[in-house]
Amino acid sequence: MLHNLKAEIARKNISRREVRTLLGISEKAFNNKLSGLNEFTFRQTLRIKNTYFPDLDLEYLFEDSKEARG
Q: Got the DSSP string for the chain? A: --HHHHHHHHHTT--HHHHHHHHT--HHHHHHHHHTSS---HHHHHHHHHHH-TTS-HHHHT--HHHHH-
Tens of pLDDT, residue by residue over 25-68, are 999 999 999 999 999 999 999 999 999 999 999 999 999 876 55
What's the pLDDT score for residue 67? 56
What's the pLDDT score for residue 23? 98
Taking a C-beta distance cutoff of 8 angstroms, is the pair 50, 19 a contact? no
**How do the domains of the chain map onto residue ranges?**
3-69
27 Cβ neighbours under 8 A, 6+ residues apart: 16, 17, 20
pLDDT beyond 80 at 70: no
